């Protein structure tokens, strides 16, 4: 088995993947694009991608790439996220003199209150993953760099955590999807089953969205999320991604058939178990 994740080792995606799969099957990738492309080509059995965070909402690049590649969601993992400020051990006593802070854009956004209070004028660099930020700090021991990321990242790259749990809210979690062609089960605590559909309006007219959503309502199906994303064709053209609590199989199939009969473009991309909370591995 080969399982890809947004790396390197020590990223939050690594923590989610390592809670679900055996660590010896995990392969890091530098970008979501490369990761999903390898999974699409069949070079990976599964890949693990971040999809939504409590503070910052949806991970939009993931949503857009999923719309383009249409993988199948086999599971959802919910990981508690605690952001740590870390520096090279040589600068642990002078971390307030940091000259550059680097991390993934989501981690930076989740920690923006701390950054504004402590480093209002320090340069910020967005980087591909939190672990890549930690690696940059480790690779430049002579420079006063800091990274924001997980305890796993600090341990992996030999950095010192100088400020703990700097995220803006304490109940910070990220959802991750496990994508692949075959069902896969985890040993984590099991939550509700969910399904996700991509949904496009039949035509642009008043009440078009309501017409589609009314079909779900008529079958008493609870939608847990609905979000619009541009189709990247022209202004005003969108698709919707809808998460719902999975009803009985026949009811879900009935709703999908009704949508198609009314000329809505709808694609089921997953009917899957959720696992929460995932416990971070040390």
Range with the lowest mean pLDDT among 39-43, 57-61, 215-219? 57-61
Contact 85, 134 (CB under 8 A): no
Contact 163, 83 (CB under 8 A): no
Residue 223, pLDDT above cutoff 90: yes
Model confidence band, residue 281 (pLDDT cutoffs 50, 70, 90): very low
Give the separation between CA 184 and CA 194, rounded to whole angstroms: 15
* pLDDT 10s digits, 61-73: 888 888 888 899 9
Cis previous bond, 8, omega within 30: yes
Residue 137, pLDDT above cutoff 60: yes
Q: How much is the pLDDT for 181?
A: 93
Residue 14, pLDDT above cutoff 70: yes
What is the mean pLDDT of the segment spanning 4-12?
Answer: 86
Residue 279, pLDDT above cutoff 60: no
Across all residues in the chain, what is the average pLDDT? Answer: 89
Which parts of the chain fold into alpha helices (H)? 12-20, 32-41, 60-69, 105-110, 112-118, 130-139, 151-157, 208-218, 249-261
Model confidence band, residue 179 (pLDDT cutoffs 50, 70, 90): very high
Contact 178, 77 (CB under 8 A): yes
Residue 247, pLDDT above cutoff 80: no
Range with the lowest mean pLDDT among 25-29, 124-128, 230-234, 249-253? 230-234
Q: How much is the pLDDT for 246?
A: 86
Q: How much is the pLDDT for 278?
A: 54
Give the separation between CA 76 and CA 194, rounded to whole angstroms: 9
Residue 205, pLDDT above cutoff 80: no
What is the mean pLDDT of the segment spanning 46-72?
Answer: 87
Model confidence band, residue 158 (pLDDT cutoffs 50, 70, 90): very high
Taking residue 111's Cβ as centre, other Cβ atoms within 10 Å add up to: 25
Residues listed for the chain: 282
Q: How much is the pLDDT for 106?
A: 85
Return the percentage of the chain with pLDDT > 90, whole number: 56
Model confidence band, residue 271 (pLDDT cutoffs 50, 70, 90): very high
Nearest partner of 67 among 215, 266, 271, 245, judged by Cα: 266
Q: How much is the pLDDT for 10?
A: 83
Q: How much is the pLDDT for 270?
A: 94
- Per-residue tokens: 158: 């030999």
Taking residue 54's Cβ as centre, other Cβ atoms within 10 Å add up to: 18
Residue 39, pLDDT above cutoff 70: yes
What is the mean pLDDT of the segment spanning 104-124?
Answer: 93
């Amino acid at each position: 088995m080969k399982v890809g994740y947004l790396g390197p080792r020590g990223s939050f995606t690594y923590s989610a993947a390592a809670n679900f799969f055996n660590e010896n099957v995990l392969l890091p990738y530098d970008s979501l694009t490369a990761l999903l492309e390898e999974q699409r080509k069949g070079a990976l059995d599964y890949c693990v991608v971040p999809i939504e965070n409590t503070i910052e909402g949806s991970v939009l690049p993931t949503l857009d790439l999923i719309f383009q590649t249409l993988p199948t969601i086999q599971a959802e993992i919910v990981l508690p996220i605690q952001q740590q400020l870390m520096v090279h051990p040589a600068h642990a006593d002078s971390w307030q003199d940091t000259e550059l802070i680097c991390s993934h854009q989501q981690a930076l956004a989740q920690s923006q209150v701390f950054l504004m209070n402590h480093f209002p004028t320090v340069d910020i660099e967005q980087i591909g993953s939190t672990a890549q930020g930690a690696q940059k700090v480790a690779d430049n021991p002579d420079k006063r760099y800091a990274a924001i990321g997980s305890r796993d990242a600090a341990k992996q790259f030999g950095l010192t955590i100088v400020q703990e749990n700097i995220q803006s809210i304490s109940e910070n979690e990220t959802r991750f999807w496990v994508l692949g062609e075959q069902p896969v089960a985890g040993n984590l605590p099991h939550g509700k089953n969910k399904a996700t559909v991509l949904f496009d309006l039949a035509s642009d007219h008043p009440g078009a969205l309501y017409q589609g959503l009314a079909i779900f309502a008529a079958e008493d199906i609870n939608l847990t999320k609905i979000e619009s994303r541009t189709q990247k064709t022209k202004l005003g053209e969108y698709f919707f991604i809808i998460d719902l609590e999975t009803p009985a199989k026949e009811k879900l199939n009935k709703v999908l058939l009704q949508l198609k009969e009314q000329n809505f473009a709808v694609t089921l991309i997953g009917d899957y178990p959720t696992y929460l909370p995932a416990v971070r591995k040390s």
